[in-house]
Chain A
Amino acid sequence: MLQRLYVHNYRCFEHFEFKPQDQSAALLLGKNASGKSTVRQVLALFQAIGRGRSRVGELITSSDFAHYRREQAIEFELEARLGEQSYAYRLVFELPERFRELRVQQERLVVDGEVVFNRDIAKVAMPRKTKGYEDAVFFIDWHLVALPIIQDAAAAIVLRTLREWLGAMILLAPIPFNMRDVAIGSEVAIHESAHNLPDWLADLLERFPAAYSGVVEHLQQVTPDLQGFRFDRLGRDARALLVLYREGQKTLELPISALADGEKCFLISAVLLAANQMTAPLLAFWDEPENFLAPHEVNQFVVALKRSFLRQQSQLIISSHNPQAILCFPQDSTWVMGRRHHLEPSQIRCLEELHLSSPVTSPSSEVATERKPDLLQRLLDGDIDPWL
């Protein structure tokens, strides 16, 4: 589980620290441009590293410096509890004068308090605990992140565990309109826009055929007339995803392009739930999952996701503006983000610490008729960040 995320000098973040700790679900709340989606972009950077992308120029560019402050380094720190072990990964980028591409200034992985590797620009050191063995020291291109490329027998398990967990992150900001009808097998991990959902589903079913019933069962809660789905082979690699509906004796088979945008979002959630069941523990971030859903569907949609992630000891982070989604999260797992204007960095506070909705007067029968301010009213009034 993600315990802590620290980001400095990256886009709208300066000394930004998000600590979901052991929460199975967390909500990011805030006005537009408060930095919620930037959290997803930071996670995407770690996800790319976990999936083997090491070239710095493909991960980050000079336009990512906060307010073009290129003289300062960009810092990322991620702490996670994976299995019984605590991982702390730190990655710092800099842009020296006359450089066009950023380079790695520092990189360090610590597991349970012990350094796995420590890097200073190009020099990487791996301490050896065994007597008689000297620390391994080697050099790598300063435009390459070390984590995806280090191969070391002594640290193989922890390196693989972290890389796999990072790479398995599911980050979603779906655009249902762009969802393809066809699985083409070129990329099996779900893209943020979910345009390749058929590929993700096909891959999941190939690895875990039992996931089929979970997906159908979940979809039938929303659309009881759904009978199932299947892939129809179109050529050597392409397979069309078709959804089958039945009402009495009548049946109808539709490509997913014929589904409503909200139905496509239910399909995404059904596959996410199945993936979570089969490949937990996962870290998933869903940017505004309520988009495209009818208001009366939102609450139970979010509840289903939260229940699944709690049950599987996975972790779900969502951002939302929707009252029905917001009501699903306790104060202690709701994080309010904000900034007064674009020249200021984003700040984040746990709602529990803000006491936004605490009673203004002590509760007693004399003052009990005074209505306490509630979170949703403050949201509607645009009054959730008076602490800024």
Chain B
Amino acid sequence: MALNRERLHLVVLPEDDATRSLATGFVDATVGQMQVLNPAGGWCHVLDEMLEAQLTPLRKYGKRHLVLLIDFDNDFTNRMQDFNNAIPVDVANRVYVLGALSEAEELKKQTGIKLGLLGQALAKECAGNTTTLWMHPQLQHNQAEINRLNQVVRGFLF
């Protein structure tokens, strides 16, 4: 029942409990191997946690993919740059940085949908190859990362 690390699997490192809620909802609407980790406690701690604790398993297990789920706090370009600069090149193709443009709570407020249900809806869009919710102003900046992630997870997650 535990994740089989020798097979393709997706791990999500959320920033806080709000982003964790989004991720757990997403997991519910998938069928493949996926696990949400304990929130790091802030976007910069996501980066620290990735470099300190997640790099070793990423390098050990070649079929592991890691989503860093953060709030961009309306600073998408700079924050993406920070992450891209910090993520080691040898695992960069298996690490994805996603999140709401401001914060997950704001996405919930604007859509009027609870975070768990939002996560489910986002997963269903991925499975059905639709992008209505993913094109929401709080989420549309994720398109490039989602396209990159979708190519990998489509085969085992949905």
Residues of A within 8 A of B (CB): 23-25, 221-222, 266, 294, 296-297, 299-301, 303-304, 306-307, 310, 323, 327-333, 352, 357-359, 363-365, 368-376
B69 at the interface (CB under 8 A from A): no
Residues in A neighbouring B16, C-beta threshold 8 A: 357, 359, 372, 374
In the complex, are the beta carbons of A301 and B1 less than 8 A apart?
Answer: yes
Say which residue of A333, A364, A369, A373 sits within 8 Å of B116 (CB atoms).
A333
A310 to B34 Cα, complex, angstroms: 16
In the complex, are the beta carbons of B29 and A331 less than 8 A apart?
Answer: no
B44 at the interface (CB under 8 A from A): yes
In the complex, are the beta carbons of A310 and B42 less than 8 A apart?
Answer: no
Quick check: which of B20-28, B50-58, B128-136, B140-148 contacts chain A, the rest being far away? B20-28
In the complex, are the beta carbons of A327 and B24 less than 8 A apart?
Answer: yes
In the complex, are the beta carbons of A371 and B115 less than 8 A apart?
Answer: no
Say which residue of A25, A330, A363 sits within 8 Å of B103 (CB atoms).
A363
Kindly provide the distance from the CB of A291 to the nearest chain B CB, expressed in whole angstroms. Answer: 15
Given the contacts A330-B20, A330-B114, A310 and B1 also touching, CB distance less than 8 Å: no
Given the contacts A330-B114, A331-B115, A359-B16, A372 and B42 also touching, CB distance less than 8 Å: yes
In the complex, are the beta carbons of B43 and A371 less than 8 A apart?
Answer: no
In the complex, are the beta carbons of A300 and B1 less than 8 A apart?
Answer: yes
Chain B, residues 9-40, CB within 8 Å of chain A (1/0): the string is 00000001110111011011111011111110
Say which residue of B24, B71, B116 sits within 8 Å of A363 (CB atoms).
B71
In the complex, are the beta carbons of B41 and A330 less than 8 A apart?
Answer: no
Kindly provide the distance from the CB of B117 to the nearest chain A CB, expressed in whole angstroms. Answer: 8
- Which of A24, A299, A306, A375 has the most chain B CB within a 10 Å cutoff? A299
A177 to B117 Cα, complex, angstroms: 38
Q: Apart from A374-B16, A375-B39, what are 11 other A-B pairs with CB-CB below 8 Å?
A: A294-B2, A303-B34, A310-B120, A330-B25, A330-B119, A331-B18, A358-B105, A363-B71, A364-B73, A374-B38, A375-B17
In the complex, the chain B residue whose C-beta lies closest to that of A328 is: B24
Kindly provide the distance from the CB of B7 to the nearest chain A CB, expressed in whole angstroms. Answer: 11
In the complex, the chain A residue whose C-beta lies closest to that of B30 is: A307
Kindly provide the distance from the CB of B23 to the nearest chain A CB, expressed in whole angstroms. Answer: 9
What are 28 sample pairs from A and B whose C-beta atoms fall under 8 A apart? A24-B28, A266-B1, A294-B2, A299-B35, A300-B1, A303-B27, A303-B28, A303-B35, A306-B27, A307-B30, A310-B120, A330-B114, A330-B115, A330-B116, A331-B17, A331-B18, A332-B21, A332-B115, A357-B17, A359-B16, A363-B43, A363-B71, A363-B103, A369-B42, A371-B42, A371-B45, A372-B39, A374-B17
Residues in A neighbouring B20, C-beta threshold 8 A: 327, 330
B3 at the interface (CB under 8 A from A): yes
A331 to B114 Cα, complex, angstroms: 9
Residues in A neighbouring B115, C-beta threshold 8 A: 330-332, 352
A363 to B46 Cα, complex, angstroms: 14
In the complex, are the beta carbons of B71 and A374 less than 8 A apart?
Answer: no
In the complex, are the beta carbons of B114 and A352 less than 8 A apart?
Answer: yes
A369 to B45 Cα, complex, angstroms: 7
In the complex, are the beta carbons of B42 and A300 less than 8 A apart?
Answer: no
Kindly provide the distance from the CB of B10 to the nearest chain A CB, expressed in whole angstroms. Answer: 12
Residues in B neighbouring A330, C-beta threshold 8 A: 20-22, 24-25, 114-116, 119
In the complex, the chain A residue whose C-beta lies closest to that of B115 is: A330
In the complex, are the beta carbons of B28 and A25 less than 8 A apart?
Answer: yes
In the complex, the chain B residue whose C-beta lies closest to that of A218 is: B1
In the complex, are the beta carbons of B44 and A368 less than 8 A apart?
Answer: yes
- Which of A266, A301, A307, A374 has the most chain B CB within a 10 Å cutoff? A374
Kindly provide the distance from the CB of B21 to the nearest chain A CB, expressed in whole angstroms. Answer: 3
Say which residue of A222, A331, A358, A370 sits within 8 Å of B42 (CB atoms).
A370
A306 to B1 Cα, complex, angstroms: 14
Given the contacts A310-B28, A331-B21, A332-B115, A300 and B71 also touching, CB distance less than 8 Å: no
Kindly provide the distance from the CB of A129 to the nearest chain B CB, expressed in whole angstroms. Answer: 37
In the complex, are the beta carbons of A327 and B2 less than 8 A apart?
Answer: no
Kindly provide the distance from the CB of A330 to the nearest chain B CB, expressed in whole angstroms. Answer: 3
A294 to B44 Cα, complex, angstroms: 32
Kindly provide the distance from the CB of A306 to the nearest chain B CB, expressed in whole angstroms. Answer: 5
Residues in A neighbouring B117, C-beta threshold 8 A: 332
Residues in B neighbouring A376, C-beta threshold 8 A: 38
Residues in A neighbouring B116, C-beta threshold 8 A: 23, 329-333
In the complex, are the beta carbons of B24 and A329 less than 8 A apart?
Answer: yes
A352 to B21 Cα, complex, angstroms: 10
Kindly provide the distance from the CB of B41 to the nearest chain A CB, expressed in whole angstroms. Answer: 4
In the complex, the chain B residue whose C-beta lies closest to that of A333 is: B116
Kindly provide the distance from the CB of B77 to the nearest chain A CB, expressed in whole angstroms. Answer: 13
Residues in A neighbouring B103, C-beta threshold 8 A: 363
In the complex, are the beta carbons of A310 and B29 less than 8 A apart?
Answer: yes
In the complex, the chain B residue whose C-beta lies closest to that of A323 is: B38
A96 to B119 Cα, complex, angstroms: 51
